[in-house]
Amino acid sequence: MSDKSMIICRCEEVTYEELIETAEKHKCSARELKLRTRAGMGYCGGRTCRNMVESIPRQYLPNKEQLGLVTLKYQPPIRPVHFGDLGGDET
């Protein structure tokens, strides 16, 4: 298994190679890289791959000042909660 076939985003099964190719082709920011590949948009909300997705565009973005303009949003996974659990049952 080569380094390029290593899966970076386990939730969306995005490989390192896909991230590199997309960043090279589109010269995109981290946010655009996320939107184009779906890396960081899976069940975990980017907890495992966010740092890697943010670091890759630094190598390929021609205008380095754009890097800090938009950062990736971190959103922890959310589970549904029943209203009865919130207010308690009074039966």
Classify strands 7-9 and 14-15 as parallel, antiparallel or unpaired.
antiparallel
Cβ atoms of 63 and 22 within 8 Å: the answer is: no
Structure-block tokens of residue 12: 């969306």
Q: With pLDDT > 70 as the criterion, what percentage of the chain qualifies?
A: 74
Structure-block tokens of residue 11: 């939730």
| Residue spans per domain, the chain | 3-87
Residue type, 90: E
Q: Provide the whole-model pTM.
A: 0.70
Q: What is the pLDDT of residues 61-72, one digit of tens each?
A: 766 655 555 667
